[in-house]
Amino acid sequence: MNETPFDEENLAEMIRHIIRMSGNRQPVIIGIQIIIPGTPDGAPLISRGDGTEPPIEVQTIGERVVLSTELPGIAPGQVQVMFREDRVFIWAKDQDRHYTANAMVPPALKDSIEISFHHGVLEVSYLPVDTP
């Protein structure tokens, strides 16, 4: 796709072109990705539809893997964390905000996961599977 400046006329022409290319078939729009290049503090936030995808920082401290991400304005009870093999998924939602994030991480040893949430910062700590 070419990098043309946004204006409503370019967007409308792009949609008309997609519809013409589809022939008699009805096009289905799966999603639209809107990328905001950075925030005032320099952290990259990616907006997808009505949600925001904050970055997940992955560190190894001693034997533990520590994940952290910022979820401003969210209460602890509105956060969900799920591990699936070598990926972590984080969801958080209230009436005004919706965050989704995921990252590749070392697989977690079951029952070693500790989660804390203070002042909008989620921290997940665990032992990786290969730790003796």
17: helix, strand or coil: helix
Alpha-carbon dihedral sign for residues 108, 110, 116, 117? positive
Is the residue at 40 inside a domain?
no
Give the neighbor-by-neighbor strand order of the sheet with 121-126.
57-61, 64-70, 121-126, 114-118
Is the residue at 6 inside a domain?
no
Contact 121, 73 (CB under 8 A): no
Contact 117, 75 (CB under 8 A): no
Alpha-carbon dihedral sign for residues 13, 15, 19, 22? positive
> Among residues of the chain, what percentage have pLDDT more than 70?
66
Residue 8 — very low, low, confident or very high, per pLDDT cuts 50/70/90? low
Which residues form the domain of 57?
Answer: 52-126
Is the residue at 17 inside a domain?
no
Contact 58, 125 (CB under 8 A): no
Query: Could you read off the pLDDT of 27-51 as tens digits, one per residue?
Result: 555 555 444 444 455 555 555 445 6
Here the CATH number for the domain that contains residue 113 is 2.60.40.790
Is the residue at 2 inside a domain?
no
**Picking from 9-13, 63-67, 92-96, 109-113, which range would have the lowest pLDDT averaged per residue?**
9-13
CA 35/CA 51 separation, integer angstroms: 12
Q: Is pLDDT at 74 greater than 50 in this prediction? A: yes
Tracing tokens 């599977």 back to the chain, one arrives at: 129
Query: Could you read off the pLDDT of 90-106 as tens digits, one per residue?
Result: 999 888 889 999 999 99
